[in-house]
């Protein structure tokens, strides 16, 4: 078994709130400089920029988990990841079917652009990506499970847009692989207040919107090798894989 450092919550310039310097190239360079082995690309309600990050990382020792940070109808943020492109495409279709028609105002919310290898803009998203989808957390978790993805309610300690702020608790029966923590969460205090969650896996992520924040906090995973399935096994504590440090 080996230890790997993961930062599974990183926005690109596609997110309206993501800095325009959050290009795939800059994200990978910073992750490498911070000795991060696994990064999760999680733009608000879109997977359109993650493909390029994965492609550019092909010759590196960095595992890129492609996904998104979805906003459920209850306004809960959740991280989702898929291994295969066809799963990502199907999930993107699902998002677009359920994203309300509010338009983005780039001068107010920020630009929502996808770039190519040459850093030319190839797509601009017109709908506001931070809107809540017309699907509940249960429905989204179910969709992710059907597509064999990974599902992680994000920054559950936060006072807004978290499962605890919106629902009051983590419901029994909700399917997820791990629970996310914000960078500054005092975990020992959190787990005393929420002791019913003590047996679940937690991951602490940067939720970086700026290059400098990538890898400032991370989670250490014990697994056999860098792969999507090994990450899933670590989150679910299977066959000696586990989270060793948050
Ligand atoms: Zn969030
Ligand atoms: Zn985020």
165-189 per-position pLDDT tens digit: 999 999 999 999 999 999 999 999 9
Task: Show the beta-strand stretches assigned E in 47-163.
Answer: 63-71, 77-82, 113-115, 121-124, 150-153
181-224 per-position pLDDT tens digit: 999 999 999 999 999 999 999 999 999 999 999 999 999 999 99
Q: Which ligand is nearest to the CA of 12?
A: 2
Residue 59 has pLDDT above 90, yes or no: no
149: confidence class by pLDDT, cuts 50, 70, 90 = very high
Q: Which ligand is nearest to the CA of 78?
A: 1
216 alpha carbon – ligand 1 mean position (Å): 17
Q: CB-based contacts of 117: which residues, under 8 Å, 6+ apart? A: 52, 55, 56
Tell me the chain's radius of gyration from C-alpha atoms. Answer: 17
Q: Which ligand is nearest to the CA of 155?
A: 1
73-127 per-position pLDDT tens digit: 999 999 999 999 999 999 999 999 999 999 999 999 999 999 999 999 999 999 9
207 alpha carbon – ligand 2 mean position (Å): 5
In this prediction, residue 206 carries a pLDDT of 98
Q: What is the mean pLDDT of residues 19-42?
A: 98
182 alpha carbon – ligand 2 mean position (Å): 9
1 alpha carbon – ligand 2 mean position (Å): 30
8 alpha carbon – ligand 2 mean position (Å): 10
41: confidence class by pLDDT, cuts 50, 70, 90 = very high
β partners of residue 6: 38, 219
Task: Take residue 223 and report the two structure tokens written for it.
Answer: 């697994």
**pTM, whole model, 2 decimals?**
0.97
11 alpha carbon – ligand 2 mean position (Å): 6
Compute how many other C-beta atoms are within 10 angstroms of the C-beta atom of residue 109. 15
Percent of the chain predicted with pLDDT > 70:
100
The Cα–Cα gap between 2 and 225 comes to 7
Q: Which architecture, in CATH terms, is 2-245?
A: Alpha-Beta Barrel (3.20)
Distances (CA, A) of 165 to 38, 153, 161, 186: 28, 12, 7, 16
Q: Which ligand is nearest to the CA of 159?
A: 1
């Amino acid at each position: 078994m080996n230890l790997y450092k993961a930062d599974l919550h990183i926005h690109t310039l596609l997110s309206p709130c993501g800095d325009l310097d959050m290009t795939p190239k800059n994200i990978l360079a910073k992750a490498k400089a911070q000795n991060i082995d696994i990064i999760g690309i999680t733009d608000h309600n879109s997977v359109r920029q993650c493909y390029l990050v994965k492609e550019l990382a092909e010759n590196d020792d960095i595992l890129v988990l492609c996904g998104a940070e979805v906003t459920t109808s209850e306004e809960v943020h959740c991280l989702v990841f898929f291994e295969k492109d066809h799963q990502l495409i199907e999930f993107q279709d699902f998002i677009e079917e359920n994203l309300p028609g509010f338009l983005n105002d780039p001068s107010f919310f920020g630009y929502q652009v996808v770039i190519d290898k040459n850093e030319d803009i190839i797509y601009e998203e017109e709908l506001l990506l931070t809107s809540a989808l017309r699907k509940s957390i249960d429905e989204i978790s179910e969709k992710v499970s059907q597509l064999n993805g990974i599902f992680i309610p994000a920054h559950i300690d936060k006072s807004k847009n978290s499962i605890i702020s919106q629902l009051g608790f983590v419901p029994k029966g909700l399917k997820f692989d791990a629970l996310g923590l914000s960078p500054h969460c005092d975990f020992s205090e959190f787990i005393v207040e929420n002791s019913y969650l003590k047996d679940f896996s937690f991951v602490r992520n940067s939720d970086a919107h700026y290059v400098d924040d990538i890898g400032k906090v991370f989670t250490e995973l014990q697994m056999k090798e860098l792969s999507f399935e090994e990450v899933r096994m670590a989150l679910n504590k299977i066959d000696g894989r586990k989270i060793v440090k948050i």
